[in-house]
Amino acid sequence: MTLRRLGAGCAFALLAAWLPVSASAGSKDPQTKAFVYCSEASPESFNPQLSIANTTFDASSRNVYNRLVEFERGTTTLRPALAESWAISPDGLVYTFHLRHNVAFHTTPWFTPTRPFNADDVLYSFQRQWDPNHPDHALSGGTYEYFNSMDMPKLIKAIEKIDDYTVRFVLSQPEAPFLANLAMDFASILSAEYAAAMHAAGTPEKIDLQPVATGPFQFVSYQKDAIIRFKANPDYWQGKPAIDTLIFSITPDPAVAYAKLKAGECQLIPYPNPSDLSAMRRDPEIRVMSQEGLNVGYLAFNTQKPPFDDVRVRRALDLAINKDAIIAAVYQGEGRKAKNPIPPTMWSYNDAVKETAYDPEAARRLLAEAGHAGGFTTDIWALPVTRPYNPDGRRMAEMIQADWAEVGVRARIVSYEWGEFLKRTKAGEHQTMLFGWIGDNGDPDNFLYVLLSCVAAKDGTNRARWCNADFDDVVTRAKRTTDIAERSRLYQQAQVIFKQQIPWVTIAHSVVSTAMSTAVKNYKIDPLGGHIFNGVDLAD
């Protein structure tokens, strides 16, 4: 049986099993620096075009790939990357990128590039997602959830190669966040030459399973659900990273990750349990870094399924949730109650929107008005992994289950492995689900359009599957103008409509913490939720 004949998920698992783990984590070789990161879950893929999960982005786009433009580490400030410079036409419809010369793709045991990065790689990376007739469009499932949810297929009118080092994007209408969008993970640049070589070898799926890119670290091997190994790219165009070997030790349980950090088996862990933070901060061998997150944790109603197609039911269940109790028990002081779908640190935040007060009696009255005086039965899909916007999805689901029982709504808690959870909720199998979002580019469009537009309801990032014409009109007009004052006014109007319609119960904006050995040098918290190891070092 060839890989071509396998489904993408099966191929991923099988290939993972083939790959060798050549050395134990935490090398003792004094000539090399091995950095072990206890990551919270397995990646869905090693191609960031195919996922919306940070676990995939950390294992691919954030450390292995580059984009035309990128965010300066630790900020939302754009800077040149594989494009050295660019020009935007006065009407905002044409973006011309001038590409960097002499950037090498990774040389690996399974592929040796014969040429440096050029315009063909840019065209391959975008046309694969954009053109349904592209030979690789359907490869590995080919859903391109992010690309489609941002309406890129309609926005992009043409992508033109002017010469080997000049590429032109022509848009069908102005798009204010377009440049920032190109710094996002889905816009990572793959190698067209590698794709052609894998096709010639009869193993095209390797493009998405064994990445070859231009970034600071090179993929070495993956043992499914256990370990990913990378090594420093000796020819990286920004200079070789200080870390020689980068290891992701996949550790879903935060308590186990903490134990491994204390034992020196990891140098850094993401998303520690809030209940462990005090002890970590007292430990002289551990440093905790924290900052307010650009995120929101929420419960989404599937608005295409009754009774959640009735706004009175959604409003009643919002009133029935004691969010203060959740903030205290689940976030333990490391979060603030959310009233809007965007965090208060983001421009255009509408502070005039009123929070929903906890009021079970009002919830019962509203349910009776909607014809559900005796309640009903539903489900709550609980997050199976710790996420920065929700440190304990199971505990939160149990608290909501108890709150809803008080108003007669009987909820069954459902959970799946992380990849399965993402796939099934994208397909709309849930009735209600706990989820969340970390901003990817610092623009309100990345929350309000990507998560709540009608386009996103068709393609999956809108897990509420909510399509409201008034809201959609406002957020679409907001992205078509570059006038920041007008954009802010429109986004504030969108937040009012959201609060009236309640496709989500907004729960919290969390404080994001990362715990690490005091030997770790130069690590920066990424406001966009990534874990980036280029620029990080270990004390000798």
pLDDT tens-place string over residues 271-326: 999 899 999 999 999 999 999 889 999 999 999 999 999 999 999 999 999 999 99
pLDDT band of residue 388 (cuts 50, 70, 90) is confident
pLDDT band of residue 4 (cuts 50, 70, 90) is very low
Nearest Cα residue to 52 out of 435, 473, 498, 535 = 435
Q: Which of 37-46, 94-103, 305-314 has the lowest mean pLDDT?
A: 37-46
pLDDT greater than 60 at residue 30: no
Take residue 357 and report the two structure tokens written for it: 């007060």
Q: What is the pLDDT of residue 11?
A: 40
Chain segment 201-259, per-residue pLDDT in tens: 999 999 999 999 999 999 999 999 999 999 999 999 999 999 999 999 999 999 999 99
Helix (H) or strand (E) holding 367: helix 360-369
Number of Cβ atoms within 10 Å of the Cβ of 275: 13
What is the DSSP secondary-structure string of 14-60? HHHHHS---S-SS---TTS-EEEE--SS--S-S-GGG---HHHHHHT
Helices marked H in 150-239 — which ranges?
A: 152-155, 178-181, 192-201, 206-209
Q: What is the pLDDT of residue 194?
A: 98
pLDDT greater than 60 at residue 3: no
pLDDT greater than 60 at residue 26: no
Q: What is the pLDDT of residue 302?
A: 98
Take residue 493 and report the two structure tokens written for it: 């109007």
Q: Over the Cα atoms of the chain, what is R_g?
A: 23
Question: Are residues 253 and 260 in contact, defined by beta-carbon separation less than 8 angstroms?
Answer: no
Number of Cβ atoms within 10 Å of the Cβ of 229: 22
Q: What is the pLDDT of residue 18?
A: 32
Give dist(CA 229, CA 217) in Å, integer: 10
Residues above pLDDT 90, as percent of the chain: 86
pLDDT band of residue 372 (cuts 50, 70, 90) is very high
pLDDT band of residue 19 (cuts 50, 70, 90) is very low
- Give me the mean pLDDT over the 19-41 stretch: 66
- Give me the mean pLDDT over the 172-186 stretch: 94
Nearest Cα residue to 67 out of 230, 232, 185 = 185
Residue 503: cis peptide before it, omega within 30 degrees of 0: no
Residues 6+ apart with CB under 8 A from 346: 294, 439, 442, 444, 447
Nearest Cα residue to 449 out of 57, 94, 154, 172 = 154
- Give me the mean pLDDT over the 79-104 stretch: 97
Give dist(CA 507, CA 298) in Å, integer: 5
Indicate the average pLDDT of the chain: 92
Take residue 97 and report the two structure tokens written for it: 């990128």
Give CA 134 to chain center in angstroms. Answer: 25
Nearest Cα residue to 359 out of 401, 406, 312, 298 = 406
Q: Which of 80-89, 365-374, 383-392 has the lowest mean pLDDT?
A: 383-392
Instruction: Tell me the β-bridge partners of 170.
Output: 94, 158
Helices marked H in 462-527 — which ranges?
A: 469-480, 484-501
Give CA 151 to chain center in angstroms. Answer: 17
- Give me the mean pLDDT over the 101-112 stretch: 98
Angle between helices 445-452 and 484-501 (to 10 degrees): 40
pLDDT greater than 70 at residue 56: yes
Chain segment 69-87, per-residue pLDDT in tens: 999 999 989 999 999 999 9
pLDDT greater than 90 at residue 353: yes
Q: What is the pLDDT of residue 145?
A: 86
Which amino acid type is present at position 518? T
pTM: 0.85
Take residue 194 and report the two structure tokens written for it: 């590698």
Instruction: Tell me the β-bridge partners of 496.
Output: none
